[in-house]
Amino acid sequence: MVETGKAYGIDFSTKYETPKIYIWLTYSLGFVDRNDGEQIYPPVYDRRHNINFMTNYNFGKDNSWQVAVRWNLGSGFPFTKTQGFYNQMFFEEGVDTDYSTVNPDEIGIIYSGERNGGRLPYYHRLDISMQKPIHFSKSISAEI
């Protein structure tokens, strides 16, 4: 299948840094469209809005302890909506299959005619960590 498409967007980023603290913030606005010859639709990886925030704070003796926080917020990915379900029958015996007594093994799905017309909900993630390096010698160290 041959498709055409386009992708465009804009990113904003800012950073603040001192010996004790590091802050990084980005925002991305993006648009991706594909055309399969029948319809123009957003592909499954099209994310309109994306925000990333990250900060590190160093403290303790020689600033050897570090607390880090990372947060991500993203708009939902597109998906094709379902319109309904049905009992899917396979006529393995051809026209001799007795459809009145066959129990369907699978459920069939009827999809919307609009490809990727729905959007999943917004997603966010928050990670918090703390670390400290321990030096046993010049060549041996560990991090907790």
Whole-model pTM: value is: 0.76
Degrees to nearest 5, angle at CA 76 with 22 and 115? 145
- Token readout for 28 is 């991305």
CA separation for the pair 98, 113 (Å, rounded) = 32
Distance from the Cα of residue 51 to its chain's centroid: 12
pLDDT given for residue 99 in this prediction: 74
- Token readout for 5 is 């498409």
Do 101 and 133 sit in the same domain of this protein?
no
Do 134 and 86 sit in the same domain of this protein?
no
Do 31 and 100 sit in the same domain of this protein?
no
Do 33 and 71 sit in the same domain of this protein?
yes
pLDDT given for residue 83 in this prediction: 93
Q: What is the pLDDT along the chain (144 residues), one digit of tens a residue?
A: 789 999 999 999 999 999 999 999 999 999 999 999 999 999 999 999 999 999 999 999 888 999 999 999 999 999 999 999 988 877 777 788 777 777 777 888 999 999 999 999 999 999 999 999 998 999 999 999
Do 41 and 13 sit in the same domain of this protein?
yes
Q: What is the domain extent for residue 62?
A: 4-78+120-143
pLDDT given for residue 82 in this prediction: 94
Cα-Cα-Cα-Cα torsion 6, 8, 46, 43, nearest 10 degrees, comes to 0
Do 25 and 93 sit in the same domain of this protein?
no
**Which bin fits 116, alpha (ψ -120 to 50), beta or left (φ > 0)?**
left
CA separation for the pair 118, 112 (Å, rounded) = 10
Do 60 and 107 sit in the same domain of this protein?
no
- Token readout for 128 is 């918090």
pLDDT given for residue 81 in this prediction: 95
Cα-Cα-Cα-Cα torsion 16, 19, 20, 23, nearest 10 degrees, comes to 20
Do 54 and 36 sit in the same domain of this protein?
yes
Do 13 and 63 sit in the same domain of this protein?
yes
pLDDT given for residue 127 in this prediction: 98
In terms of C-beta density within 10 A (0-12 exposed, 13-18 middle, 19 or more buried), how is residue 78 classed? Answer: buried
Do 38 and 69 sit in the same domain of this protein?
yes
Nearest Cα to Cα of residue 71 among 120, 24, 9: 24
pLDDT given for residue 18 in this prediction: 95
